[in-house]
């Protein structure tokens, strides 16, 4: 199968998943944007680490670099990889694409906190201006505090998810490339806001306690599971576009829709459950550490 594929180009139905891995949309504005962002990150990383070596200051850890590169890998596979190349033909691949954006790429990028590297990719005069805006009293920092307030962030995330799965909105995005780009930008942006109260880096760190973060994830899990269950169990084909696309791997439109809903319902929510589990153990570790400290400070009689 060709490595280069032009979006919208007709193709023969695929009958094996081996052929699936040959489908990439490398001729795309998204490819240019991803390469630019990756190049800017690597350039800033080089400048920052060179400065750190010269002054014995701390540099960006290899762990954070690895998380950033994994985030870029998830973005690349989602936006120009086989999932994107066949998203117009298969609903379940479109759902995988959305899950990679919202549940993999977004939290990885937040955990990596690449802001410092991007700042150092800028000329010094621009860097100081942007850094000032990101400071505690900066306008950008003020706006981010408003947008990442838990009630706002989770509402934006859920509304974005539901609005873009309305049949009229979904089909419009499939048939209009610019609207499709907007859809993906909104999914990723809403996911960044959603994950910020859980793992948000500086300059706007999360103020939620561990129990509050657990509750936050549980609240998000319910509407996500409900949408996935509805797409899986509904009797009709909601997205008629897929009734006229090539039938890959023998999946008819209704089967394809049910599989896409199941992917959102089960694996998608496993990510949220997994994140909640990690938070629970972090909470337990924090409580144990505090308890040991109190016993050390106040040993008692």
Closest of 135, 75, 61, 76 to residue 107, by C-alpha? 75
> Quick check: is 237 in a domain?
yes
> Quick check: is 290 in a domain?
yes
Confidence band, pLDDT 50/70/90 cuts, at residue 15? low
| The pLDDT of residue 7 is above 60 | no
Taking the C-alpha atoms of residue 183 and residue 190, their distance in angstroms, rounded to an integer, is 10
More reliable by pLDDT, 268 or 170: 170
Taking the C-alpha atoms of residue 186 and residue 181, their distance in angstroms, rounded to an integer, is 9
Per the CB < 8 A criterion, the answer to whether 71 and 109 are in contact is yes
Q: What pTM was computed for the model?
A: 0.87
> Quick check: is 233 in a domain?
yes
pLDDT digits (tens, 9 = 90+) for 29-66: 999 999 999 999 999 999 998 887 655 556 788 999 99
Computed over every residue of the chain, the mean pLDDT equals 87
> Quick check: is 2 in a domain?
no
Q: How far is CA 72 from CA 77, 95, 185, in A?
A: 9, 19, 15
Judged by average pLDDT, the poorest of 8-17, 55-64, 279-288 is 8-17
Eight-state DSSP code of residue 235:
S
User: Based on the structure, what is the number of domains in the chain?
Assistant: 1
More reliable by pLDDT, 63 or 247: 63
The most confident of the ranges 17-21, 56-60, 86-90, 136-140 is 86-90
Q: Which domain holds residue 175?
A: 17-297
Burial class (CB in 10 A: 0-12, 13-18, 19+), 270: exposed
Confidence band, pLDDT 50/70/90 cuts, at residue 292? low
Confidence band, pLDDT 50/70/90 cuts, at residue 251? confident
pLDDT digits (tens, 9 = 90+) for 191-242: 999 999 998 776 677 788 889 999 999 999 999 999 999 999 999 999 999 9
Tokens of 86: 């066949």
More reliable by pLDDT, 171 or 17: 171
Taking the C-alpha atoms of residue 20 and residue 131, their distance in angstroms, rounded to an integer, is 43
pLDDT digits (tens, 9 = 90+) for 102-156: 999 999 999 999 999 999 999 989 998 888 888 777 888 889 889 999 999 999 9
> Quick check: is 7 in a domain?
no
> Quick check: is 9 in a domain?
no
Taking the C-alpha atoms of residue 23 and residue 19, their distance in angstroms, rounded to an integer, is 7
């Amino acid at each position: 199968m060709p490595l280069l594929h032009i979006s919208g180009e007709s193709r023969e139905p695929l009958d094996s998943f081996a052929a699936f891995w040959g489908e990439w949309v490398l001729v795309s504005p998204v490819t240019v944007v991803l390469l630019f962002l990756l190049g800017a990150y690597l350039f800033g990383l080089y400048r920052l680490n060179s400065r750190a070596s010269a002054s014995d200051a701390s540099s960006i850890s290899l762990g954070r670099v690895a998380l950033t590169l994994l985030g870029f890998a998830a973005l690349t596979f989602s936006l120009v990889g086989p999932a994107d190349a066949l998203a117009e033909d298969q609903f379940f691949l479109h759902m995988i694409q959305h899950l990679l954006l919202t549940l993999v790429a977004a939290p990885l990028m937040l955990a990596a906190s690449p802001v410092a590297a991007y700042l150092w990719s800028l000329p010094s005069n621009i860097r100081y201006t942007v850094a000032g805006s990101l400071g505690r009293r900066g306008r950008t920092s003020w706006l981010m505090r408003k947008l990442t307030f838990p009630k706002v962030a989770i509402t934006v995330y859920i509304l974005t998810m539901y609005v873009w799965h309305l049949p009229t909105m979904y089909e419009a995005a499939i048939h209009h490339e610019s609207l499709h780009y907007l859809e993906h930008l909104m999914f990723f942006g809403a996911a960044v806001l959603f994950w910020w109260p859980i793992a948000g880096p500086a300059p706007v760190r999360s103020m939620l306690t561990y129990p509050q973060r657990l509750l936050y994830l549980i609240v998000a899990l319910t509407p996500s599971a409900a949408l996935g269950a509805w797409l899986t169990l509904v009797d009709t084909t909601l997205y008629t576009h897929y009734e006229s696309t090539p039938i890959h791997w023998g999946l008819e439109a209704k089967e394809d829709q049910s599989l896409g809903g199941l992917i959102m319902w089960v694996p998608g929510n496993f990510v949220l459950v997994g994140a909640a589990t990690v938070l629970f153990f972090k909470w337990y570790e924090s409580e144990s550490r505090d308890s040991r400290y109190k016993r050390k400070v106040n040993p008692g009689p």
